[in-house]
Amino acid sequence: MASSERIFVQAIRSYGARHGIDVDVRAGGWLIAMRRGAMRRFAFGYDIGLNSAIAHRLANDKSATAEALSILGVPCIPHHLFLNPKLGSNVVDAAWREAMLGLLLDNPQGVVVKPNEGTSGRSVFKVTTETELDRAAGEVFSMSTGLVISPYVEIENEVRVILLDDVPRVAYSKQRGSDWKHNLDAGAKPVLLEDGEVRAACAKLAIDAANAIGIAFVSIDVVHVDGEWRVLEINSGVMMEALGKLHPELAQATYDAALDRVFEEQREH
Ligand SMILES: Nc1ncnc2c1ncn2[C@@H]1O[C@H](COP(=O)(O)OP(=O)(O)O)[C@@H](O)[C@H]1O
Ligand SMILES: [Mg+2]
């Protein structure tokens, strides 16, 4: 086992060893084939296979997430979608740049430009001028099919809640480092939340969000803005690399609970 192996993979290996499950890791660690007797299951990336295809797609698409949540009345940060003009004029409205500029004009405090599918804080730009907007859009479109624009909001606290079937398993606040973003990859530190009002409010919002898109095992980021909690993003892959370094037993217990569901004998589908 390589020492750089992801905590996700290590957790599956550990679960497998304790439950008589063969674990075969392929594709540079991204594809994991699991087998217990005649039962075969796959994990891919950070996806353990408990979520429906449509829930997974909605979660992975920031614009679709925000639309679905607003239909269900779950407070969230709006994300306006712009498709890459390289897809051609049949797909992309010629007025795309005007529409982007309109959003900038509507939000004098600035906007955030980022890839619709999310890349752990990479290519996420805060923009306040037309020049910055063009540069950010160029950068995002060089890598992504979809770009989203949100009003820039002053985030007082960003909390991640990990749910399995509506039960909060983990809740932590992301303490920023020098970066303005709360990504753990960019140096933010996870700090577990004690039981109390904040944890309860975040858990409730996360459960509402999970129910809105019908997702079972999920990592939901909520932000405190102007005294209110709102959903920022939903991830259908549950990543606990940074948390697992600080609280390995908690990460393992959470993956164990999810894998118990994966290998449950009698499940109605
Ligand atoms: N509209 C916004 N206003 C203020 N900060 C934002 C906004 N959108 C994102 N951020 C900051 O950028 C970080 C990354 O954005 P996020 O939507 O989570 O994308 P990713 O999928 O790349 O993590 C967030 O953790 C947050 O700190
Ligand atoms: Mg994020």
Confidence bin at 118 (pLDDT 50/70/90): confident
What pLDDT score does 29 carry?
92
User: Which residues on adjacent β-strands are paired with residue 212?
Assistant: none
What's the gap in Å between 78 CA and the centre of ligand 2? 14
What pLDDT score does 233 carry?
97
Q: Over the stretch 201-253, which tens digit does the pLDDT of each residue have?
A: 999 999 999 999 999 999 999 999 999 999 999 999 999 999 999 999 999 99
Confidence bin at 70 (pLDDT 50/70/90): very high
Tell me the pLDDT of the chain averaged across its residues: 95
Q: Over the stretch 148-159, which tens digit does the pLDDT of each residue have?
A: 999 999 999 999
pTM of the entire structure? 0.95
Q: Quick check: helix, strand or coil at residue 12?
A: helix
Are 47 and 41 in contact by the 8 Å Cβ rule? The answer is no
What's the gap in Å between 121 CA and the centre of ligand 1? 7
Return the residue matching tokens 């890349």.
119
Structure tokens at 174: 């992301």
121 CA closest ligand 1 atom index: 22
The Cα 120–Cα 104 span in angstroms is 24
Q: Atom 11 of ligand 1 has which residue's CA nearest to it?
A: 181
Return the residue matching tokens 């949100």.
150
Pocket probe mutation, ligand 1, options 69, 109, 114, max atoms within 8 Å of Cβ: 114
The Cα-based distances of 7 to 91, 185, 250, 252, 254 in angstroms read 40, 15, 12, 9, 12
Return the residue matching tokens 């948390």.
243
What pLDDT score does 259 carry?
98
pLDDT at 93 > cutoff 90? no
The Cα 48–Cα 91 span in angstroms is 33
181 CA closest ligand 1 atom index: 27
Domains of the chain: 7-45 (no CATH), 53-75+154-256 (3.30.470.20), 80-151 (3.30.1490.20)
